[in-house]
Amino acid sequence: MKFGGTSVGTPQRMKDVAALVTKSGQPVFVVLSAMSGTTNSLVEISDYLYKKNPDGAHEVINMLERKYMRHVSELLESDESRRQTTEFLKEEFNYLRSFTKELFTSFEEKSIVAQGEIMSTNMMVNYMKEQGINAVLLNALDFMRTDKNAEPDPIYIKQKLAAILEGYAQGEEQPQVYVTQGFICRNAYGEVDNLLRGGSDYTASLIGAAIGAEEIQIWTDIDGMHNNDPRIVDNTQPVHQLQFEEAAELAYFGAKILHPTCVQPAKYAGIPVRLLNTMQPDAEGTTISNTTEYGKIKAVAAKDNITAIKIKSSRMLLATGFLRKVFEIFESYQTPIDMVCTSEVGVSMSIDNSSHLGEIMDELKKYGTVTVDTGMCIICVVGDLDWSNIGFETRVMDAMKEVPVRMISYGGSNYNISFLIREEDKRRALQSLSDNLFA
Ligand code: ADP
Ligand code: ASP
Ligand code: MG
C-alpha cells in the first residue's frame, strides 16, 4: 500500500492511514511519500543554496520546522513519543541547516530532498507504535538501488529485501506492518539518490514485484484514474478497469495520478495495481491488470512542453539510412523522441526535453531544411484501439475537428492515438474529447 503526499499531508490523515493499513488484519508493506508540499520546500531550499543564498534557505527551513513541530503534538499523545519524535525532527532540521555552510552540488541536493520521506515514515511508525501496532521502519536506502544507467536494480532489491524480511520472520513476533520511504534510493556508487518526482509509486511497484505481493495499491486523493484530466476538464469519471499498457500510456502522456515507470515492474510480475482514494476508501477506484475491454476508448491525457521539429529533404526520397542518421543525432544528445510522422520528403518528430535543441538543429541542418514549433502539447487517447476495431478513428477525429493539429500518430501500439497541438488549444481539445467520447 503506497500513500501519496496528500494521504499523509496532515496528522489526521496519518492517523487515517494507520487505521486503513491495519483494517484487513493481514501483514502489509507500506510505502509513504513525504507530507504534501515538503518535497517542493526541500527543492526550494536547494535552489537557494545553489544560488548561494543561505538566508533564503534558512527562512524555508525555519518555516518547515515550525510546521513539523506543530504536527508532533497533534499526532502523538504520550510525552515519550512526543519527545522522541521532536528530537528526531530537530536533528533532521539541523542536518538541513548544515548544508548552508558548504559547497553545493546535485549530490547535496539529493540528500536534502530525501529528508521528506525520512520524516513522514518516522512520524508514522512512532504513531503506530504508540497505538500498539507492531510496526517496523525499514530504511529504503538499505535495499532500493539503481544501476549505472540510473535504472532500478530489481535483482539487488529482491535479494536485499528478502534478507531483511527473513530477519524479521525469525523474530518472536511477526510485524503487522512494514513501513518504508518511497522515492529515495542509492545509486550504483552508494550515494543517496531518488526515482524522480512522483517516484514513490515506482518504489511501491518495485517492492510489490520483489516480495510477490498479492496486489499493489496506490492510495491517493482521487477515486482512481479518471477518463480525462480532472484539473482541466469538467465532469470526468473514474475508469474502473485498465490494461497495463493503457495505464502506462496514460501515465507517460500526462495522467499525474501515476508515475510513468510504475506500471512496468507490476506488469512483468503479473501483479494487479489498484488506484484507490484515501478520502473515500470504499470507492471502487481503478484496477490495472492484463484484462482488455474489447473496443473501448478508456481515457484521454495531455503532456505539455513539447517541441516539434520538422526536417525536409529532397534527398530523403528513396534514401536508405536517412531516418537512422536523423535519430542518431537525437540519441547523441540523449534526447528521446515521442512522436514521429514521415512523408516522402520529410519527417516530423516531437521531443519533451529541449535542453539540446540548438545543437540538434545545427546537426539536422546538414540534411535538410529544419523548422521548429515550441509550446506544443501531445493529446493522447487511450483504449483498445486495435486496427481491426472500426470506427474509433472517426469518432476521435470528429471530436478534434475544431482544433488545429500539427501531427497525428496511430499504429505504434494497439492502445493509443496521439495528436500534437498548440498548448493554448489543450483545454478545448480535452473538453471536446470528453464531450464526444464519454458523455
Ligand atoms: P499523490 O501525491 O498521492 O502521489 P498526485 O498528486 O501525484 O498524488 O496524483 C493525484 C492527482 O493526479 C489528482 O489529484 C489529480 O488532480 C491528478 N490527475 C491528473 N490526471 C488525472 C487522471 N486522469 N485521473 C486522476 N487523477 C489525475
Ligand atoms: N515526495 C516525492 C515528490 O513529491 C515523491 C512522491 O511523492 O512520489 O515528488
Ligand atoms: Mg504522485
pLDDT 10s digits, 97-134: 999 877 899 999 999 999 999 999 999 999 999 999 99
Burial of 431 (0-12, 13-18, 19+ CB in 10 A): middle
Contact 219, 7 (CB under 8 A): yes
pTM of the model: 0.95
C-alpha cell at 220: 491517493
DSSP lists the bridge partners of residue 209 as: none
pLDDT, the chain, mean: 96
CA of 3 to the centre of ligand 3 (A): 9
Q: What is the pLDDT of residues 7-47, one digit of tens each?
A: 999 999 999 999 999 998 899 999 999 999 999 999 999 99
Q: What is the reported pLDDT for 101? A: 73
Q: What is the reported pLDDT for 344? A: 82
Name residues contacting ligand 1 (CB within 6 A).
4-7, 33, 198, 220-222, 225-226, 229-231, 255-257, 301
Q: How confident is the model at residue 320 (pLDDT cuts 50, 70, 90)?
A: confident
Q: What is the reported pLDDT for 169? A: 87
CA of 301 to the centre of ligand 1 (A): 12
Tell me: pLDDT of 316 over 70.
Answer: no
Q: What is the reported pLDDT for 317? A: 58
Q: How confident is the model at residue 343 (pLDDT cuts 50, 70, 90)?
A: confident
Q: Which ligand is nearest to the CA of 7?
A: 1
Q: What is the pLDDT of residues 52-102, one digit of tens each?
A: 999 999 999 999 999 999 999 999 999 999 999 999 999 999 999 999 877
Q: What is the pLDDT of residues 151-181, one digit of tens each?
A: 999 999 999 999 999 999 888 888 999 999 9
Q: Which ligand is nearest to the CA of 34?
A: 2
**Taking the mean position of all CA atoms in its chain, how far away is CA 91?**
29
Q: What is the reported pLDDT for 24? A: 87
Q: What is the pLDDT of residues 345-362, one digit of tens each?
A: 889 999 999 999 999 999
Contact 218, 274 (CB under 8 A): yes
CA of 96 to the centre of ligand 1 (A): 29
